[in-house]
Structure formats: C-alpha cells, structure tokens
Structure 1
Amino acid sequence: MTLLLLMVLAHVIADFYIQKDTWVTCRKDNHYASWGLCKHVLTHVFLLIAALWISGQLNGSGWIAIVLIGFTHMLIDIWKSYKNDGLYYFLLDQSFHLLVIVVAWLVLSGSTFAEIKAQLLWVLQIKYLAIACVYVIACRPASIAISIALSNYTTQLADKQTGLASAGRWIGYLERCLIISFIIIGQFAGVGFLLAAKTIFRFGDLTKEKDMKLTEYMMLGTLLSFSCALLLGWWVNKSFLSL
C-alpha cells in the first residue's frame, strides 16, 4: 500500500503542481508534437523513479513499470488534447491514469489472481454496494424526482430563474451527498449545520425579493432534498452499516 500511495502522490504532484499552464496550452495546440507534453511525461517519470526508489522497488520490474506508465500517460494525454476541458473528460482522463497506476502496483506488489479477487470481493460486499447505490440515487434520480414534484410550481416562477445554469442541480447533489456522509459517519450535527448554512445564504436573497411564492418554492425544494437524503442515509445506516 505504501508503494501505491507514493505512486499516486507522484502522479498528483506532476499533474497538478509541477505541470505549467504553458505546457497544457502547447499540448492542446500541437498534440503529439508538443514539447510541453514531453516535459510533462518526463516529470512523471522522474517522480515515479523517486517513488519506486523510496519504496525499494527500483529493480528490473520497476523500470518496466515506469516506462509503461510514462508511455500510457503520454498516450492518454494526447487523446485528452483533442477533447474539450469539460468535467467529463477531466474525470475520464484521471480515471485512466489511476487505473494504469493501480495495475502497475498490483504487478509490482506480486499480488496473485486469488489475492486480487479477494480484494475485489471485499470491496463488493453488500454494505459497500448499498452505500454506492445510495450516493448514485441521491444525485440525478433524486434531482429528477424533486423536479417532477415541483413542476407545478416551477412554471409559476419562470420569470424568477436568474441563477446560474445548472447550479441548483449541483447544489442539490452536493447537499444530499454531504447529508448521507454525515449520517454514515454518525455526525448528525453536521446535517443541522448544513441546513443552517443554506438557510443563512438563502435568507438574504429571499428578503430582497419579498416574494412569498419564491420563498415557499425554495423552502419546499430544500425540505424535499433534505428529506430524500435523510431517508436514504437512514436506510443504508440501519439496514447495512449496523450489521
């Protein structure tokens, strides 16, 4: 596990701290013929060498892993240079990098197929699957359900929609995931703090508007969102985490 953490740390430092904006721009403009890409990959290679040396894995297999990680990193970044800067491609890009690192770590650590299978089965225990399902349900499905529930009132406030596009949806995702997380770790005071914080931030806007319809709409949406998250968190906590 020490080796994996060192490899991930090397990746994060190289990708987010050492990499310069000019390198990224150069890669987007020149793609596979970019000097910025070469410098970026070399940075990864040097940090990986340091990580494997610290962990005592700088041997024949370690050098092969470094070359393969560096080469695949270059290919992934070339592919990414043809895509836009949206969140989807950013997450996909990082997922590919981390997947390669994890595979290299499994090979270097000498894990057998049986050991890997045992680790996967541990991750896929019913309580962890239940937690994953709860988070997934709390995002888009819950958002759609709340939108449908509020649809009769949304049409009455069509002229009041002055906020950022999609911001309300993302706020809902985050608040429901935070509530579920607070319930899972047993920090119920965090739920109250979150509700109080949201109320404070919304109070000024609602006071300025002096619109009863808007106030009721915001309160109804918040209560529906919180109720959904509380029910999901309570369900997974009582049904699976208490086993």
Structure 2
Amino acid sequence: MPETLAALFLAHVLADYVFQTRWMVEEKARPETLFLHALIVLLTAMATTGQVASPMIYALALIHIVIDTIKTRFFSDTFLPHITDQALHLATLILIALIAPDLFAQGPYATLPWLPKAMLFTAGAIYATRAGGFAVGKLMAPFAQKLTENSEENESKDDTPTLEGAGALIGILERGLTYLLMLSGLSASIGFLVAAKSILRFEAIREGGPDKSRKMSEYVIIGTLASFGWAIAVTLAVMFIAAQMPKLGISPAAH
C-alpha cells in the first residue's frame, strides 16, 4: 500500500505543480483546459504506477477533475479553498491506495524495490518547496494587500532596491533545506535557518518607522512560520510513509 501511495503522490505533484502551467490555472474554468489537466493527471498516474488499463487510475483522474471543477466554479482562488482542494486530492490518493494496495506491486516496476522510496522523496521535495510556495503565497496575500494599502495611505514609498523573484526563491530554498535537514536527522539545524533569516530581515524592517516596522515584522513572522511549518509537516508525512516501506538490504556476496 505505501508503494502505491508513493507512486500516486508523485503523479499528483507532477500533474499539479510541474506540468500544470500558469495559463492552465488561469483558464481552468474552460472545459478544454479541465480536459487537458485531467489527461495530464491520467498520464502521470499511468507513468508512475506503470498501470495503463487499471480502472483505479481512471477513477483517480475523474475524481481529481470533479474536485477541480467544483473548486473553480464555486470558490475563489484563496488560501482556504486551495488547502481544502489539496486535502481532498490527497485523501483521494489515500483512498485509491487503500482500495488497490497492490496497484504498484502488480505493475512493471515491481522488480525495482528502491523506486517507491525514490518517488516518495522526490514527490515530497516538490510538495515541500513548490506546493508550499503557492500555499504560503495565498495565505499571505491578504496581509500583503493591507501592507500596500497602508503604505499608499501614508504616502510613503519604499525605495529599497529588491531583486525580482528573490522572495519566492528564498522561500523555496528555506523549505528545501528544511526538508533535507529533517530527512538527514539534523532537525536542530532548522533553528539556525530561522535565526539567520530573522537577522537578515531586521535592518530592512526597522528602517520603515515604528508603525510600519511592527506591521512588517508581523508579516515576516507569519510568512516565515507558515513556510517552515509547511516544510516540516510535509517532511513528517513523507518520513511516516517511508517508515511503512520495507527497508532495502544488501545481501552479502556468496563465497
């Protein structure tokens, strides 16, 4: 069962966070775009499980697109609907893995015992970094809007030069490092990452005056905790699933 779940999890993150383009997200209300996304979900699931004719793979793609359709047509693209959407997708993966636990074992990859863990760790890395970026971004969007509105009301302009896309890259790096440190058993080192980020942000925050500094500090704290929290939660889930898989042993050579 964990091997099947690992394969389906990789298929999910590939379909939603690697092969789904910005254009597809923006045009998802169109039937042809939903069909294209459903096709990608189906093909990635086939590729990771090695199953082409299994009804479970087709059921997975159908459920996935039904969830996306409901979310797109009836809910806004904000944090809570986004998280609910992802929770339903992950629940679907678990359900399919419970119904067809041998889906992976009965496929052509069954002779590769190392592959499920490789799939799991790869999927976890993508979900911790890229998926985390979308989730944290949607969580912080209302706070960012309030900061912008307050700046306009106070007619204060921040002339501090910034690098385009640097914030998103920093988030990816911090979540990726958190993921690697936890998998390596170096969880205590995460505290140094948080401290380093806090020190580097301190000068930029305090230059805006007491009122703006407080609001900016709260914004940074929420974003930082959400980013690290997401990475930690994903890593713990990956470690739990990996612990359910058989350990890979190397048989001693015969003499």
TM range (shorter): 0.3 to 0.5
> What TM-score, normalized to structure 1?
0.47
> What TM-score, normalized to structure 2?
0.45
Higher helix share: 1
Question: Using CA pairs below 8 Å that are at least 6 residues apart, which structure has the higher relative contact order?
Answer: 2
